[in-house]
Structure 1
Amino acid sequence: MKIVQLLPALNYGGVERGTLDVARGLVKAGHESIVISSGGRLVTQLEAEGSRHITLPVHKKSLSSLLQVAPLRTKIRELHPDILHVRSRVPAWLTYLAWRRLPRETRPRLVSTAHGLYSINRYSAIMARSERVIAISECVRDYLTQNYARYLQQPPELIYRGVDTSEFNPGITPPADWRQQVESEFPALRNKRWLLLPGRLTRWKGQHAFLEMMANLKDLRSDVQGVIVGGAEPNKEHYAEELQQRARELGIADCVTFTGSRNDMPYWYGESALVYNLSQRVEPFGRTVIESAAMGTPVIGYDIGGPAESLRACFPQGLVAPGSAEELLETTNTLLDSDARPILAPEFTLDTMVRRTLSLYRSLCQTPPGK
């Protein structure tokens, strides 16, 4: 098969990671993989892994982007792919407008992946108008079914995002001097059990709840250190300062370490006693949950949205009621004294995600075109 994936850009993020994962799987299975985007830092990796990249400005949320419909249609005719796979709303609109004017009998089949809980309007409805729609979690599938049933040609196909078990597994050990270097950079981590909250610094990711928990834990445990890993979003650096000020107000400035962004996350997961996902709002998926589970590190998270689905499958002991400070503290204390470890469920592996995606492509190619 020849597969073309379309997304706004190839910078870092869940959509981009999913695109590269599928592209790599296609190449490994002997198929032809092409990605169309406006470019980005991951183009080099994509091409090094055997895919072709075509740069087109399919990223701008502007009426001027409609000027790209005709060039995109020309490019589709030229490539003559079997599948067009869209992963975001702007490229989905441009692709749909280009695709629907092609002869039905010979045009490629159209697939979309809904990576989020999009706002309910006609603009977002485009993600449900493909011939086949992939939902990355049950909550996304149910959201699409409840809000976009009139556009769906078939029920959404549930294909979870998958973790690469060659990169995240209990056998992964850091280099011999890794912990020494980390503790040299962050001396407060020495001789402590790490309680890790990974995720970018943004108000709904739960850093405030984590700080409140650390304040309540301070008098109960002297052997733990809170670790907040993640950088602030552009133009929101003040939030990092706000969190550090809050730690000082709670009297736990020496009990919480802020590391900023890191590119060695498997080691942080593996060296931590507990990992947390405390998102305050419903998230479509919880990648930090399955990465921690893959490393064998216990995870604690609120019982809402996509992260809760992963926890129920891999480590139900870590589920706590949304917003319950008392239950969060109690579960932390219990798991710190427990030998319980998560087991990554097969449906959350990268191999399963790629295999099921390719199976969907094949089944669509073997069925006659619909309306």
Structure 2
Amino acid sequence: MATILQVLPALESGGVERGTLEMARAIQDAGERSLVMSGGGSMAPSLEAEGSQHFTWPVGKKSLRSLRLVRPLRNFIREQEVDLVHVRSRVPAWIVWRALQGMPRTERPALVTTFHGFYSPGRYSSIMTRGDRVIAVSTSISAYIQKHFPACPTERIRVIHRGVDPSEFPYGHKPGDDWIEGFFQTLPAHARDRALITLPGRITRWKGQLDFVKVMDSLIKRNLHVHGLVVGGTERRRQRYEAEVRQEIQERGLESHISWLGQRSDLREIMAMSFAVLSLSREPEAFGRVSLEALSLGRPVIAYDHGGVGEQMAALFGEGTIPPCRPELAADRISDWLKGSAPRPAHLRGFTLDEMQGQTLDVYRELL
């Protein structure tokens, strides 16, 4: 039985955290021992309930004081007889790497790193290229590594797309009647009879909420029966941007045509009820889980053609691809679909959770 340790800053929420739990599950299903080290968070109890051991260490703090953890971590690795460490963020990666450098090669566990984003070029981010294997979550990320971190040998890089569980996001899913009734009670009365156009994503400028307002403005001016849904939470430092988006909605007279839903735990149901789900990120996303979840549900997606989302769309639903930062083309596409019939994505081919877990376990096996 191999002991595999995953290290990340915290276990609050997000794609990195969810991926850690998914791999912890796969490690145990493969008969190996799963350890996770993080600063803790709301997802830690779920992790432990599923059988992994969690160790709360402040490994995500961006401070030179974090280097004090190097020696204790080295001792921890020895005591727990860790065979492989998988790191998913830069600060933990530096701590882990320094801990491993102080060990004889014969005692040193294998190191896997995952590039979850377009990390800024430079020495600080280069730590993510020092794994014995470097996982890129999309082909776009792999190309980025090779361009900006040329010292990383290409033979170390493995492209493993993040995946969704089709049983969690089943094709053709329909929410229950009680949920539907309760949901429409929170929207303007006319929304019940209109095509719902949904933009999921946290409220931040690069996610494209202002482009979404332009899309909705164009559709309403064409007298199309649509209602927009903005779904996502706002961090305190993004409140000024939220106010800017709300002001734009007001100036365009769209208050009754766009509902602001905030952070939701029922996004699956919302997307399942949507005529179309939009991905309007103005910068390339490393992967883009939400658009893939919508495709798994069988909902049409319109997305800017760049980054990991562009890769998904090219493979699964090319009908929904438009050039980046062209919201008017999104409005044209929705208009065409409303006047004719919207195409439906095929059942998910690739990009599944099982494939992501299996391919990551294969990387572990290469090193073990």
TM normalised by structure 1 equals 0.95
CA-CA distance at 1:204 after TM superposition? 1.0
2:69 paired residue number: 68
From 202, 206, 215, the counterpart of 1:204: 206
Whether 2:263 is the aligned partner of 1:261: answer yes
1:323–1:235 CA distance, 2 compared to 1 (3 A): closer
Deviates more, 1:56-65 or 1:325-334: 325-334
2:230 paired residue number: 228
2:120 paired residue number: 119
2:362 paired residue number: 359
| 1:1-371 superposed matches below 5 A | 1-152=2-153, 154-188=155-189, 189-336=191-338, 337-365=340-368
C-alpha distance in 1, partners of 2:291/2:56?
A: 33
Q: Please say if residues 132 and 156 of structure 2, whose CA atoms lie closer than 8 Å, have aligned partners that are also in contact.
A: no
1:368 paired residue number: none
- 1:222-241 deviation line (CA, Å, top 9, x unaligned): 42101110111223223222
C-alpha distance in 1, partners of 2:360/2:348?
A: 18
Q: Please say if residues 84 and 111 of structure 1, whose CA atoms lie closer than 8 Å, have aligned partners that are also in contact.
A: yes
Letter in 1 for 2:358: R
Q: Please say if residues 6 and 84 of structure 1, whose CA atoms lie closer than 8 Å, have aligned partners that are also in contact.
A: yes
Secondary structure at 2:155's aligned position in 1?
Answer: coil
CA-CA distance at 1:220 after TM superposition? 2.1
Secondary structure at 1:225's aligned position in 2?
Answer: strand
Secondary structure at 2:163's aligned position in 1?
Answer: coil
Secondary structure at 2:120's aligned position in 1?
Answer: coil
1:26–1:221 CA distance, 2 compared to 1 (3 A): farther
1:170–1:79 CA distance, 2 compared to 1 (3 A): same
Deviates more, 1:197-206 or 1:239-248: 239-248
Letter in 1 for 2:107: T
Q: Please say if residues 89 and 124 of structure 1, whose CA atoms lie closer than 8 Å, have aligned partners that are also in contact.
A: yes
Secondary structure at 2:230's aligned position in 1?
Answer: strand
- 1:171-199 deviation line (CA, Å, top 9, x unaligned): 53322211110111123422121000000
C-alpha distance in 1, partners of 2:314/2:348?
A: 10
CA-CA distance at 1:25 after TM superposition? 1.4
C-alpha distance in 2, partners of 1:221/1:156?
A: 50
C-alpha distance in 2, partners of 1:153/1:276?
A: 34
Secondary structure at 1:3's aligned position in 2?
Answer: strand
Q: Please say if residues 90 and 124 of structure 2, whose CA atoms lie closer than 8 Å, have aligned partners that are also in contact.
A: yes
CA-CA distance at 1:50 after TM superposition? 1.2
List alignment gaps of at least 5 residues for structure 1. 366-371
C-alpha distance in 1, partners of 2:350/2:100?
A: 32
Q: Please say if residues 7 and 59 of structure 1, whose CA atoms lie closer than 8 Å, have aligned partners that are also in contact.
A: yes
List alignment gaps of at least 5 residues for structure 2. none
Q: Please say if residues 196 and 228 of structure 1, whose CA atoms lie closer than 8 Å, have aligned partners that are also in contact.
A: yes
Tell me the number of residue pairs that the alignment of Structure 1 and Structure 2 aligns. Answer: 365
1:303–1:236 CA distance, 2 compared to 1 (3 A): same
Letter in 1 for 2:297: M
Q: Please say if residues 278 and 301 of structure 2, whose CA atoms lie closer than 8 Å, have aligned partners that are also in contact.
A: yes
Q: Please say if residues 275 and 292 of structure 1, whose CA atoms lie closer than 8 Å, have aligned partners that are also in contact.
A: yes
1:196–1:247 CA distance, 2 compared to 1 (3 A): same
1:67–1:153 CA distance, 2 compared to 1 (3 A): farther
Percent identical across equivalent pairs? 44
CA-CA distance at 1:40 after TM superposition? 0.8
Letter in 2 for 1:75: F
Letter in 2 for 1:299: V
- 1:51-103 deviation line (CA, Å, top 9, x unaligned): 11011111111111110000000000011122100000000000000012212
Secondary structure at 2:227's aligned position in 1?
Answer: strand
Q: Please say if residues 7 and 88 of structure 1, whose CA atoms lie closer than 8 Å, have aligned partners that are also in contact.
A: yes
Secondary structure at 2:123's aligned position in 1?
Answer: coil
CA-CA distance at 1:149 after TM superposition? 2.3
Q: Please say if residues 275 and 297 of structure 1, whose CA atoms lie closer than 8 Å, have aligned partners that are also in contact.
A: yes
C-alpha distance in 1, partners of 2:251/2:30?
A: 55
C-alpha distance in 2, partners of 1:47/1:168?
A: 24
1:329–1:171 CA distance, 2 compared to 1 (3 A): closer
Secondary structure at 2:221's aligned position in 1?
Answer: coil
